[in-house]
Amino acid sequence: MKIQILRLFLTFIATMLWGSADATPRDRLHVVYVTNQDRPPLPEYKDRIHRIVLDLQDFYRTEMTRNGYGSKTFKLDPDENRKVIIHLVTLDWDFDSTQKFSPKEISPIIAKHLLEKGIDIEQEYIFVFANAYWKNDGVWKFDAAYTGTGNPVRGITWVVDHELLDPKNIVPNQTTHINDRGHPATPGQFNVKMLGGTAHELGHSLGLPHNKESKEESKTRGTALMGTGNYTYRRERLGKKKHGTFLTPAHTFILSLHPLFTDRVPTDFDVPNVFINDLKFKKTATELLVSGTAVPSSKVAGVIFYHDPMPTGANKDYDAFSYLAKMNNYGKFTCSTPLSNSDKCALHLKVYFKNGMHTTFSLTQEKGNEVASLQKSYQWEKVKYAFKKRDALTLKKLIKSLEKTDPKAVKPAQLFLANAERWKDFKTPAKLSSNKKRVALSSSRWDSVSFGSIIWENGKQIPSYNGIMDFEGRSFRPLKSLNGPCPDGIFAHAPSTYTYNLGGRWKVFKSQFGIQRGQYAGSVVFIVKGDGKELFRSSITKLADGEVPLQINVSRVKKLDLITAPGPDGRGNDWSIWIAPTLLR
């Protein structure tokens, strides 16, 4: 009996670390090793990388446990000997130190290799080690991506392998040194930095943004991983510093929702349409107190605040402090943050959902005028939310208020209103009279739209018809393909899905598709689905392809999905447009 219990316990532990034998999408991290045809993998690469990922796994587990989430960490893909499976991808060209080891060039090769093994990188988490270091006059160098990007839907980490990259080399009292890109270091110091970078970029691929430790955390914990903790990872093992690198409470909360950490994969990765009602601010001598309610609250898991001194944006947020708000079951939350010393900073309120996805509300805070400046920003968030719902009546009321409180915001709000007014006259295709023999989808109501959350969140472009709308209302640009203006069309930056209710009452879907003029690097796949069944899939489409026609039978189709997917080089410049999309009886 005791032996059976022990076996069950060991099986449970193994499943926690590695996942079950039967793989399902998004339940484990897949490791890839890339090298050139003239360069064999580095010596003992399998054993070293096995130790590396186990060490990273242990770091994340320790931090999740310390923050109250139990012994959670990401799962790996094991072979029959319980060693991590490493997918070896050999490029069919020789190594060239003058050429960058580029993800744009290599990603399609990895994708094809993994797909043959049943792994789709569009719905998995991938960890790539590149054999890209070389030695020149005693100095080790590389020209390769060291980066990570991802969310609960998918993620990919790119790092560089080295023969000394190994956690067992982080030991004290070393006397030998290597020269890493002009920086002499012991093998231990080298691994502190490079394994720290590996842990940091893995964090990005899991959806973690940058943040900074507080003064108190610096004294008691060390350095936040997603700040400059990539330079202090495991340094306590060298014997000179008490603390190394840690994960903040806000970031372990985010990981607690990620499929790799939860033993469950959400049925969808939708970003619910929520808003923060009754957002209030109160300033004390030392703190800013914030309260509000996320509504509707049924899918909300929590709210995180980021105080980010200006300038803010990509790679300008290493100095952002993160705070996990206290929230009840009805979405009401409170949070207190120290007053910022910056003259101006962004206060990002990120609402996280139970599926791990999130939406962001960004406010501007001015020193000495904290409450008034935040209230002014909140008013503009109300305008954007009303436009997102195409609520013309609420927009009119808000514009009246803006005329008194923020006159500069009136013009962009009026642009939103004009767009919402047009939407008010649109009809759902299923509800149109049978006497109407054709209808343009660019003047029809969609049932739902999924529009690359990264694009929406960063405040660039938003789902729009017959033009490209800036999320701050600054512009509404016309659609243009390589062939010229497209007055009738739908802007659909990949990845996107527009869903229309046809009610089984239409026979033909006719359209053209292409890339917005000026986006020379864009590459997109256009897909049409009817009731979930794929009816059409284009080849990879680029700007030079102009306007590509399509016509398909949609008889008896109730739900029509117009989908754009990024090409193998990622979503950059993927400004895709559906040109004159039309339904015919």
pLDDT in tens, 244-263: 999 999 999 999 999 999 98
Tokens read off for 159:
């790092």
5 occurs within a structural domain = no
Residues 319, 378, single domain; the answer is: yes
Residues 54, 146, single domain; the answer is: yes
356 occurs within a structural domain = yes
Query: Which of the 8 DSSP states describes residue 195?
Result: H
Q: Domain count of the chain? A: 4
Residues 568, 493, single domain; the answer is: yes
Residues 415, 434, single domain; the answer is: no
User: How confident is the model at residue 251, as a pLDDT?
Assistant: 98
Judge contact between 87 and 269, C-beta under 8 A. no
3-state helix/strand/coil string of 252-288: HHHHCCCHHHHCCCCCCCCCCCCEEEEEEEEECCCEE
Q: What is the rounded CA–CA span in Å between residue 140 and residue 251?
A: 33
351 occurs within a structural domain = yes
Q: What is the pTM of this model?
A: 0.86
Residues 512, 497, single domain; the answer is: yes
Residue that terminates a domain, selected from 262, 296, 329? 262
Residues 221, 290, single domain; the answer is: no
The two beta strands, 523-530 and 533-537, are antiparallel
153 occurs within a structural domain = yes
Per-residue pLDDT band for 397 (boundaries 50, 70, 90) equals: very high
CATH code for the domain of 555: 2.60.120.1060
- In angstroms, what CA-CA distances link 54 with 48, 60, 123? 10, 10, 23
86 occurs within a structural domain = yes
176 occurs within a structural domain = yes
Q: What is the rounded CA–CA span in Å between residue 512 and residue 482?
A: 12
- As to burial, measured by CB atoms within 10 angstroms (0-12 exposed, 13-18 middle, 19+ buried), residue 21 is exposed
Residues 433, 565, single domain; the answer is: yes
565 occurs within a structural domain = yes
Tokens read off for 499:
């869903």
Residues 185, 256, single domain; the answer is: yes
SS3 of residue 533 by DSSP: strand
Per-residue pLDDT band for 573 (boundaries 50, 70, 90) equals: confident
Residues 120, 235, single domain; the answer is: yes
355 occurs within a structural domain = yes
Q: What is the arithmetic mean of pLDDT over 411-420? A: 89
Mean pLDDT, the chain, rounded, equals 90
Residues 48, 178, single domain; the answer is: yes
pLDDT at 363 > cutoff 90: yes
Tokens read off for 278:
């009754």
Q: What is the rounded CA–CA span in Å between residue 211 and residue 215?
A: 13
pLDDT in tens, 260-272: 999 888 888 888 8
Residues 381, 406, single domain; the answer is: no
Domain with 442 in it: 429-584
Residue that terminates a domain, selected from 237, 262, 287? 262
Residue that terminates a domain, selected from 262, 291, 307? 262
CATH code for the domain of 157: 3.40.390
Residues 288, 227, single domain; the answer is: no
